[in-house]
């Protein structure tokens, strides 16, 4: 297809995130929204009304796929539904699926999504839209230009959940080091409380170490226990990355807000700071993904990148199970080790929130 083609677009899942994707879709004249599918017809109708899509409403996505034959599907469903609904789309001949993150609840399912994408030739991307925030792009450029010298270390900060929130921080960190895969991972989880995030159980905090194949060492902290006291102003980066180089460092929040930067040889230097709204991030994500559908290039938010970040997350959980660092590629694991340990009663989990 040429870059001027108009694509028939459908949404499956019309809740909160779908409204955010819709901003990006509406801004791209190559996208014509033809169908909205949600088990709650009123949610689909609300999305239709707000954006004036004039799309057909379905409560059964398989019926929608068969009748409307969309080129592009945006999946905005809770995590355990990502794989089965992606499979239905790929089998129905959909050309591109833009799925919400995280990939899936188990490592085996993540790999299955990748396999299906290859087998069916269906472009699969994940909504790691923060790659399109200008501040994150600026940090990537400054690192490439050598402004902080050779990257030696990263401090990775994530809200209290490796699978659901950690994927954003890991993705951000990996984008700063040329997408280097990890070599090994060592992790610990806090199960003082356990949570349920989009139907996947998780810890309330985690800490660990990741060594990347390019030699960069990363220390990871997730959860905000004791970081808000005695006052919130003392809080360290709550979600984002500190990239430490041989000649300076840069601190950036996950939405690309650059907190600060130091060049040891040039104390007057300040990185330029430019904020990108979440609407603009979503517009960038949709535009780029549709561009790549037309050109066949690997998207910035490809499943290959999401898979590398997911592998770190499952290796992290596996290292808790083994009480040892876990070398990548991750082999002999198909489950979610955190869920397996939780179900085995290995954690003295008190409350589910």
* Contacting positions for ligand NAD (CB under 6 A): 12-18, 37-40, 43, 61, 76-79, 81, 100-101, 127, 129, 164, 198
> HEC profile for 265-293?
CCCCCCCCCCCCCHHHHHHHHHHHHHHHH
Q: Return the number of the residue (133 or 185) whose C-beta is nearest ligand NAD.
A: 133
**DSSP code per residue over 149-166:** -SEEEEEEEE-S-TTTTH
Cis peptide leading into 102, omega within 30 of 0? yes
Across 77-129, the runs of DSSP E, i.e. the strands, are 96-99, 123-126
| Phi then psi dihedrals of residue 161, to 5 deg | -170, 120
Distance in Å, CB of 72 to ligand NAD, minimum: 17
Distance in Å, CB of 190 to ligand NAD, minimum: 20
Q: Minimal CB distance to ligand NAD: which residue?
A: 15
Distance in Å, CB of 183 to ligand NAD, minimum: 27
Cis peptide leading into 230, omega within 30 of 0? yes
Distance in Å, CB of 156 to ligand NAD, minimum: 17
Q: Return the number of the residue (77 or 177) whose C-beta is nearest ligand NAD.
A: 77
Which of 253, 302, 321 lies closest to 99, judged by CA? 302
Q: Return the number of the residue (271 or 299) whose C-beta is nearest ligand NAD.
A: 299
Distance in Å, CB of 47 to ligand NAD, minimum: 9
Q: Return the number of the residue (37 or 319) whose C-beta is nearest ligand NAD.
A: 37
Q: Return the number of the residue (254 or 317) whose C-beta is nearest ligand NAD.
A: 254
Q: Are strands 240-245 and 248-253 parallel, antiparallel or unpaired?
A: antiparallel
Q: Return the number of the residue (117 or 125) whose C-beta is nearest ligand NAD.
A: 125
Q: Return the number of the residue (281 or 319) whose C-beta is nearest ligand NAD.
A: 281
Distance in Å, CB of 162 to ligand NAD, minimum: 13
Distance in Å, CB of 21 to ligand NAD, minimum: 9
The Cα 216–Cα 177 span in angstroms is 8
Helix (H) or strand (E) holding 31: strand 31-37
164, 218, 282, 340 from 299: Cα distances, Å: 21, 25, 14, 33
């Amino acid at each position: 297809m040429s870059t001027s083609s108009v694509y028939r677009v459908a949404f499956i899942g019309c809740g909160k995130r779908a409204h955010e994707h819709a901003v990006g879709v509406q801004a791209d004249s190559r996208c014509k929204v033809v169908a909205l599918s949600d088990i709650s017809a009123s949610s689909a109708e609300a999305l239709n009304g707000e954006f004036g899509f004039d799309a057909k409403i379905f409560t059964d996505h398989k019926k929608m796929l068969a009748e409307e034959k969309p080129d592009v599907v945006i999946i905005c469903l809770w995590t355990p539904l990502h794989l089965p609904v992606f499979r239905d789309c790929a089998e129905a001949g959909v050309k591109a699926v833009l799925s919400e993150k995280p990939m899936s609840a188990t490592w085996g399912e993540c790999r299955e999504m990748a396999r299906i994408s290859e087998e069916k030739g269906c472009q699969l991307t994940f909504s790691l839209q923060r790659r399109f925030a200008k501040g994150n792009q600026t940090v990537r450029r400054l690192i490439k230009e050598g402004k902080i010298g050779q990257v030696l270390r990263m401090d990775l900060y994530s809200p209290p959940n490796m699978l659901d929130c950690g994927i954003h921080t890991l993705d951000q960190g990996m984008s700063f080091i040329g997408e280097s895969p990890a070599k090994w991972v060592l992790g610990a989880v806090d199960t003082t409380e356990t949570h349920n995030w989009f139907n996947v159980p998780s810890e309330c905090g985690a800490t660990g170490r990741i060594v990347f194949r390019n030699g960069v060492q990363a220390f990871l902290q997730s959860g905000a226990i004791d970081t808000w006291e005695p006052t919130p102003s003392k809080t360290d980066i709550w979600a984002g990355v500190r990239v430490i180089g041989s000649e300076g460092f840069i601190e950036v929040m996950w939405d690309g807000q650059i907190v600060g930067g130091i060049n040891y040889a040039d104390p007057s230097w300040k990185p330029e700071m430019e904020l990108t709204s979440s609407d603009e991030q979503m517009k960038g994500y949709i535009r780029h993904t549709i561009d790549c559908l037309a050109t066949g290039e690997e998207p910035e938010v490809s499943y290959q990148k999401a898979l590398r970040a997911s592998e770190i997350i499952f290796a992290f959980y596996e290292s808790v199970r083994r009480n040892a660092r876990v070398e990548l590629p991750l082999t002999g694991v198909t489950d979610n080790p955190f869920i397996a340990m939780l179900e085995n009663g290995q954690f003295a989990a008190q409350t589910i929130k």
